[in-house]
Amino acid sequence: MLRFLLKRTPIKRLAHGIPVVGLLSAVEVARLARRHVAKLEPQERRRLIRLLGKARGGSGSLSRRERDELAKLAAKLEPRAFVGSAASHFSPVPVPKRLLYGPNGSRARAAAGKRS
């Protein structure tokens, strides 16, 4: 079906030179990212975007309180679980639980246990 679309439709013009597997992988990672961003309330999302815009790639322009708030919001996104779920999704072998939840006894693992 994909071969038919790429040869006989206007998609052929769009698909020329675009790696389809890479595009599908990027879409899948975006879907996983959306799931993690959805853990924030709308006002938290807006505040995160404001803080990131003010920081402009570095935390030097943020006050100590703003840096702490940014760290708290980033922790709520669960970056370790995001990276682990992306790796698990694309890996042909099972991903170790320590990649998803951290080492035994960590706060991330304890928090994951409370959610389940």
Please indicate, yes or no, if residue 51 is contained in any of the structural domains.
yes
Q: What is the pLDDT of residue 43?
A: 95
Please indicate, yes or no, if residue 28 is contained in any of the structural domains.
no
Percent share of the chain, pLDDT over 90 = 18
Q: What is the pLDDT of residue 101?
A: 74
Number of domains making up the chain: 1
Dump pLDDT digits (tens) for 5-57: 556 555 555 556 667 777 788 888 999 899 889 989 999 999 999 998 888 87
Closest to 68 (Cα-Cα) out of 83, 47, 82: 47
pTM, whole model, 2 decimals?
0.63
Query: What mean pLDDT, rounded, does the chain reach?
Result: 79
Domain residues for the domain of 71 are 41-76
Look-up of token digits 């003010």: 54
Please indicate, yes or no, if residue 29 is contained in any of the structural domains.
no
Closest to 81 (Cα-Cα) out of 93, 69, 89: 89
